[in-house]
Amino acid sequence: MRLLSIDSSGLTASVAVTEDDRLIAEYNVNYKKTHSQTLLPMIDEILRMTELDPETLDAVAVSKGPGSFTGLRIGSAAAKGLAQALNIPIIEIPTLLGLACNAFGSDEIICPIMDARRSQVYTALYRCMSKTEDLLNFREWEELKEQCAIGIGELTAELNGRFSETDRILFLGDGVPVFREYLDTNLRVSHSYAPSHMNRQRAAAFAPLAIKYYREGKTVSCFDHAPEYLRLSQAEREKNEGIRQKGAAY
């Protein structure tokens, strides 16, 4: 099973080629160029470097969202175009679960946070669980909190209420530099922050999960894949708010 995985949900553009349990190549760029300029040249580069024909790919995995609306669409459109042209399926990885995969094996509570602007974060909570006692290395992701967009204050209150002082939380994602000071001041649960090699989106990190999904048949066609934004467009939001206000007036 040869997989190309893509993540352009945040500032980092990340692509990887994985063959079963072997990472063949990965390429991560966190630079100011737009994903439109970097993503496909990166895919071209790693396939040429590893002398792989795109035709030999079995599937393409892509970060489904949330994230930058435009970033998500660049990754999605690339995945859809590749899947359509090569007649292969797409594996959708929730962005925050993909981020959590960086901390595979950790016994901490994993809390990815992405800066969603307006003092909000895209976040979720995961724990890397041993699924059964008898299988040594078989672990699975337990979702403690579904992906959502919430205020950093609300998240902190929830964490304070939900976890005790003996629990430990690991934060990662581009929300960390924005909210680290806030968390250190307001969060009572003991916590730490992931280092640079695992604190941003990394296509290689979620490839094993994508391959697992592929084997379980959890794939979609190029026609059915679309990003999940977790937020309406501004126009739709304002329209809904207008309707609500009008409703309240009557």
Partner 1 sequence: MRKKAVMTMEKTELRILAVETSCDETAAAVMKNGREILSNVIYSQIDLHTLYGGVVPEIASRKHIEKICQVIDKALSDASVTLDDIDVIAVTYGPGLVGALLVGVSAAKAIAFAKKKPLVGVHHIEGHISANYIEYPELEPPFVTLVASGGHSHLALVKDYGVYEILGRTRDDAAGEAFDKVARAIGLGYPGGPKIDRAAKEGDPYAIELPRAKVGDSDFDFSFSGLKSAVLNYLNSEKMAGREIRVNDVAASFQQAVVDVLVSHTMEAIDRYGQKKLAIAGGVASNTALRAAFEEACAARDVRFYRPSPILCTDNAAMIGCAAYYEYLRGVRHGWDLNAVPALKLGETN
Contacts of 126 (CB under 8 A, 6+ apart): 96, 97, 100, 109, 110, 112, 141, 142, 143, 144
Smaller CB distance to partner 1: residue 129 or 243? 243
Smaller CB distance to partner 1: residue 43 or 97? 43
- Which residues make up the interface to partner 1 (CB under 8 A)? 34, 36-41, 43-44, 54-55, 69-70, 73-74, 76-86, 222-223, 226-227, 229, 233-236, 239
Q: What stretch of H or E contains 209?
A: helix 203-215
In whole angstroms, how close is the CB of 34 to partner 1 at the nearest point?
Answer: 6
Smaller CB distance to partner 1: residue 67 or 173? 67
Smaller CB distance to partner 1: residue 82 or 183? 82
Residue 12 has, within 13 A of its CA and on its CB side, a CA count of 23
Give CA torsion, residues 37, 38, 43, 46, to 10 deg. 130
Smaller CB distance to partner 1: residue 71 or 112? 71
Smaller CB distance to partner 1: residue 67 or 112? 67
In whole angstroms, how close is the CB of 78 to partner 1 at the nearest point?
Answer: 5
d(CA 75, CA 33): 15
In whole angstroms, how close is the CB of 76 to partner 1 at the nearest point?
Answer: 6
Q: Coil, strand, or helix at residue 163? A: coil
d(CA 141, CA 131): 9
In whole angstroms, how close is the CB of 151 to partner 1 at the nearest point?
Answer: 22
In whole angstroms, how close is the CB of 77 to partner 1 at the nearest point?
Answer: 3
Residue 204 has, within 13 A of its CA and on its CB side, a CA count of 15
- Burial pattern 172-181, b for ≥16 Cβ within 10 A else e, equals bbbbbebbee
In whole angstroms, how close is the CB of 211 to partner 1 at the nearest point?
Answer: 20
Smaller CB distance to partner 1: residue 36 or 106? 36
CB 98 within 8 A of CB 117: no
In whole angstroms, how close is the CB of 27 to partner 1 at the nearest point?
Answer: 13
d(CA 43, CA 63): 15
